[in-house]
Chain A
């Protein structure tokens, strides 16, 4: 069921709340790992946000401010545009007939935006970060697209609502575990996060984040959490049955599942080392891509039978 303008506003606010929760959870994990009290980690993102809001913007000689700002603002905008097709229980902002392709198009936007953030700063480290992201994108995008195809084939529709409805009896994660894992990895990758965060790696002084300061930095950091949150919500709709679950209403289940997936995606950062994009390419094309194609073959055979 589609919601009105007020529903769209609610979706935006909800995305913000979930993203803040994600940042707080990451802060908590970081604090615990350093032996600090968990509470200091929970509030850390808020203090950091307050600090960045007050920080004066660093100016750089010959920076391409226009492209830089587009990239900086874009991540958050793209996350919002993704949430448009992510259902919350029975509600969707816009249940497009091609919702799956819409989500995919929006995550391709991230290619351009991260590169623009790297380019705009007129800084070598940031530019290397931008190139790294595109190198990584060549590895994760095709497996991600094929992983998206699985639920679409099984549901016989590109409408996210139909995909959720097709999981009434059995969640797609049960017979599409490979597609599920690959899609989750794709979400982590397009959010420049954890093992796929080489574009913002510490070895290049923060890469695309290197020259960002003040509100620009805040927008990019928030954009990453928002992308992770939107991706987690889409994983729930695609593979985890959307809002289906006993006792509680559908929207509660959607939120609970989304937060659980999001917690796992956030936690991955503390578990796995950063993967170099050039090494990722070999694994992605020789191991992951064939594995996803086999998964699709399985799905295709199951659908035909």
Chain B
């Protein structure tokens, strides 16, 4: 069984690295986006191998969702839309190459050279739960403070970005009987 698992691990590892490289080798925004999605999905599947079912599946869910939305933004923000045509995915080649190789060498070297401690104790029964407690347990107060702030920031950003808020739809005193729907004004379709 462990031979099969090893095989699956190496397959996923190769897929994730290869599709990560593909992100920079392909010539289309859509392909780059979904190559990255494949890379993330492979990493999510590797988490499943660690018996972290919830975190693995959630990673896949969130990454596919994010990449689907990111693809739209990547194409949208390319002025005059060259994103619909074949284009290079790389800018500042030398600089980014130096950075990427440097970071890889530091991280991989660290992982290989560090004197890993021996395992103490046995793994917990419910890995997802214990991981959650390890991450959140002592930081709960921070999380509780940060989350309303983040939420308020999101709402504020949306209010600022929204071209037609409720005052546009219900009038200045919010007394209009029927709102002017999104399709009635400013609708150029």
Cβ contacts under 8 Å, B61 to chain A = 101, 104-105, 108
Count of residues in B whose CB is under 8 Å from the partner chain: 21
- B68 adjacent to A279 (CB under 8 Å): no
Seen from chain A, the residues whose Cβ lies within 8 Å of a Cβ on chain B are: 64, 66-67, 70, 96-98, 101-102, 104-105, 108-109, 111-112, 115-116, 119, 131, 134, 137, 141, 158, 276, 278-279, 281-282
Contact among A96, A112, A116, A134 for B53, CB-based, below 8 A: A96
Q: Note all chain A residues with C-beta closer than 8 A to B69.
A: 134
How many Cβ-Cβ contacts under 8 Å join chain A to chain B? 60
Q: Which A residue sits closest to B38, measured CB to CB?
A: A70
Residues A282 and B54 in contact, CB atoms below 8 Å apart: no
Q: Return the chain B residue nearest A122 by Cβ.
A: B84
Closest CB of chain B to A208's CB: distance in Å?
A: 14
A116 and B142 alpha carbons, distance in the complex (Å):
40
Which secondary structure characterizes the binding site on chain B?
helix
Q: State which of B28-36, B99-107, B109-117, B148-156 sits at the interface with chain A.
A: B28-36
- Expressed in whole angstroms, the minimum distance between the Cβ of A255 and any Cβ of chain B is 27
List B21-56 residues whose CB lies under 8 Å from chain A. 28, 30-31, 34, 37, 53-54
A279 touches B181 (CB 8 A): yes
List chain A residues, Cβ under 8 A from B72: 115, 131, 134
Q: Which residues of A contact B53 (CB under 8 A)?
A: 96-98
In the complex, the answer to whether A134 meets B68 with C-beta atoms within 8 Å is: yes
Task: Decide if B3 is an interface residue (CB 8 Å cutoff).
Answer: no
Q: Which of B31, B34, B65, B71 contacts A108 (CB 8 A)?
A: B65
A105 touches B64 (CB 8 A): yes
**Alpha-carbon separation in the docked complex, A279 to B183 (Å):** 7
Bound CA–CA A278/B61 (angstroms)? 24
Q: How far is the CA of A112 from the CA of B30 in the complex (A)?
A: 11
> With A112-B34, A115-B71 given, is the CB distance from A101 to B65 under 8 Å?
no
Contacts A97-B53, A101-B61, A105-B57; A276 near B68 (Cβ below 8 A): no
Interchain nearest-CB distance for A188 vs B (Å):
19
Determine whether the beta carbon of B68 is less than 8 Å from that of A115.
Answer: yes
The answer to whether A101 and B30 touch (CB under 8 A), given A112-B68, A134-B68, is: no
- By beta carbon, the residue of chain A nearest B69 is A134
Whether B7 sits at the interface, judged by CB under 8 Å, is no
Besides A64-B30, A134-B72, A279-B181, 11 other A-B contacts (C-beta < 8 A): A64-B31, A67-B30, A96-B53, A97-B53, A105-B60, A108-B68, A112-B37, A115-B68, A116-B30, A134-B69, A278-B182
